[in-house]
Amino acid sequence: MAASSPGRGLSRVPYKWVALSNTTLGVLMATINASSLVIALPAVFRGIHLDPLDPSNFTYLLWVLNGYLLASAVLVVTLGRVGDMYGRVRMYNLGFVVFTAGSIGLSATWSTGTAGAVEIIVMRIVQAVGGALLMANSAALLTDAFPANERGMALGINQIAGQAGTFLGLILGGVMAAIDWRWVFLLNVPVGVVGTVWAYVALRELGERHPARIDWLGNVTFALGLGLVLVGITYGIAPYGDQPTGWGNPQVIGAIVAGVVLLGAFAAIERRVPSPMFRLELFRIRAFAAGNLAGLLSSVGRGGLQFLLIMWLQGIWLPLHGYSFESTPFWAGIAMLPLTAGFVVAGPVSGYLSDRFGARPFATAGMLLAALSFLLLMALPSDFAYPAFGGVIFANGVAFGLFASPNTAAIMNSVPARHRGAASGMRATFQNAGMPLSIGVFFTLMILGLQASVPATMYQGLTASHVPAQAAQTLSHLPAVGYLFAAFLGYNPLQSLLGPTVLNALPASDAAHLVSTGFFPSLIAGPFHDGIVVVLTFSIAMSLVAAAASWLRGGRYVHDEQEAARLDSESDAA
């Protein structure tokens, strides 16, 4: 039964707007956290006295970046199911508390060196638990609160907040990191406290609870299986021995194989337990299955690309245009604003129109436009004219704005009311799992492309500036992932890698040329663009397949409870 109604002082405000405003605040908090950390990473690593360019520290960098994504991808479906069982509002409210506690813990990191990095990773995973509780239940709360003909609009507004949070995080993260890196994490605390109090006061349970036993075996096999696959993919981009990537590492291969086997066992378990965590029967609903497939493919096609666009800006374009390496993270965020603007323009409009005409035309058109924007991006030179770049990424933002809210609304409209928490978690799992999958594929393609052409180019450039041949040979064969992440973190990799010993032994003019803003970008511009072409070809393929999946979802469809009863009876009979 529904819980009693808190927040009587808000009784004059229709409850759907209370739910929308609070879930929007949750999205805002999570996205401010993500983008502010990206901008502040150099300050964070300096603050704990850890060199991110040291190969032995690369694993910590990967986990700081990806640990949140991995943990949330593993947890969201479980926590969505728990929300169906024990109350979506209760789980959502707990998410605010846990996320805020994780932010406080991050700001209080007390160690330095590798110990400090481990503490940050652990607290990021605590944040991920809170974020998963919020993400798994927020779409279900909105679906409960809004009628079917307004859900696309509500989800569109929710997603605009996500883009606004990304922009605010870039600005605030840069400002706070300049003061003290701990303030980057404290940014979330006021929002978290307000959101927590407001959630406990104002939100109420509209969905019915359906107590059931927790499917422990399914939970464990799913968490271990997906976790091993995603961890294996993450370590696949790390160097292994004398290889540029880790795909030949037996531990990487073993983790992925073991994860796939466990996921297969999970699927078998879910068909036999009386109260499964993953409602496999929902995939009999065409709109649900096609929407989740399209969501996964769109996430795989786009997720890693944003990192590479930032590296393109920070490692090549901005330095070539006179920006210091230290300032490039902030200015790259500003340069990416057309992407945000495109999403903000298209998101609510497509959500509103999809409420009337269904998701299929808008989500499908979004994926087709995404493929076209990737093709146009491929045609740009490394040292592009910014208006052309801004126009293309604006179109890319419009494309994913067209896709996102209609696709989410269509998925949530298609499921029985009692399974909305599980469905929301399943949707978030596909979306979240797509990001590390995309990063693994994109960085592998880029690293292999760079490794094939950069060493000879770098060796010639270094020796032409009188760097000793032995030092030039060593530097030119360093793993490509090192200088990719150097660009991402706003470091001049050659200044760090050459070091004062080599630089002080060179003529002053040569030393100044080597560490200038133009030398390193000019070395990697051509090979980097070749890699971008390969990566964008993959993105185009993913977008076209996602468009096909989106079209196959069928026309506008809203699940009715008679159909829900039939599905439940079939599930019980099985």
Strand locations in 39-147, DSSP E? Answer: none
Contacts of 118-124 with C-beta under 8 Å, sequence gap 24+, read 118/60, 120/44, 120/48, 120/64, 121/60, 121/63, 121/64, 121/67, 124/63, 124/64, 124/67, 124/68, 124/71
Do 307 and 286 belong to one domain?
Answer: yes
Do 503 and 546 belong to one domain?
Answer: no
Residue 470 in domain: yes
Do 390 and 536 belong to one domain?
Answer: yes
Instruction: Give mean pLDDT, residues 14-19.
Output: 86
Residue 335 in domain: yes
Q: 154-187, pLDDT tens digit by residue? A: 777 777 777 677 777 777 777 777 788 888 888 8
Strand locations in 240-353, DSSP E? Answer: none
CB atoms within 10 A of CB 455: 18
CB atoms within 10 A of CB 277: 28
Share of the chain above pLDDT 90, in %: 15
For residue 557, which phi and psi values (nearest 5 degrees)? -145, 130
d(CA 75, CA 129): 7
Q: 355-387, pLDDT tens digit by residue? A: 788 888 899 999 999 999 999 999 999 899 999
Dihedral sign computed on CA atoms, order 99, 169, 319, 438: positive
pLDDT (0 to 100) of residue 220? 85
Do 424 and 307 belong to one domain?
Answer: yes
Do 370 and 242 belong to one domain?
Answer: no
Choosing from 495, 510, 525, the residue where a domain stops is 525
CB atoms within 10 A of CB 194: 15
Q: 524-572, pLDDT tens digit by residue? A: 888 888 888 888 999 999 999 999 999 988 766 565 544 445 545 555 5
- CB contact set of 529 (below 8 Å; sequence gap of 6+): 381, 382
Do 472 and 398 belong to one domain?
Answer: no
Three-class SS of 465-477: CCCCHHHHHHHHC
What is the distance between the terminal CA atoms of the chain, rounded to a whole angstrom? Answer: 27
Residue 95 in domain: yes
Q: 83-92, pLDDT tens digit by residue? A: 777 788 888 8
Q: 44-74, pLDDT tens digit by residue? A: 888 888 876 676 777 787 788 778 877 887 7
d(CA 166, CA 342): 13
pLDDT (0 to 100) of residue 559? 57
Residue 496 in tokens: 């760090």
pLDDT band at 3 (very low <50, low <70, confident <90, very high): very low
Residue 421 in domain: yes
For every residue of 105-143, DSSP letters joined together read HHHT----HHHHHHHHHHHHHHHHHHHHHHHHHHHHHHH
Do 487 and 432 belong to one domain?
Answer: no
CB atoms within 10 A of CB 416: 22
Residue 455 in domain: no
pLDDT (0 to 100) of residue 5? 46
Q: 250-282, pLDDT tens digit by residue? A: 999 999 999 999 989 988 888 887 777 677 778
On whether the CB atoms of residues 130 and 98 are closer than 8 A, the answer is: yes
Q: What does the mean pLDDT of the chain come to?
A: 81
Residue type, 468: P
Residue 459 in domain: no
Do 190 and 150 belong to one domain?
Answer: yes
User: What single DSSP character describes residue 112?
Assistant: -
Count of structural domains within the chain: 4
Do 424 and 565 belong to one domain?
Answer: yes
Do 314 and 229 belong to one domain?
Answer: no
Domain that holds residue 205: 1-212
Position 242 pLDDT exceeds 70: yes
Position 4 pLDDT exceeds 60: no
Do 170 and 253 belong to one domain?
Answer: no
Residue 505 in domain: yes
Position 18 pLDDT exceeds 60: yes
Do 517 and 530 belong to one domain?
Answer: no
Q: 479-490, pLDDT tens digit by residue? A: 777 777 776 676
Choosing from 176, 194, 212, the residue where a domain stops is 212
Residue 545 in domain: yes
- Burial category of 487 from C-beta neighbours within 10 Å (exposed 0-12, middle 13-18, buried 19 and up): buried
* CATH of residue 339: 1.20.1250.20
Strand locations in 49-174, DSSP E? Answer: none
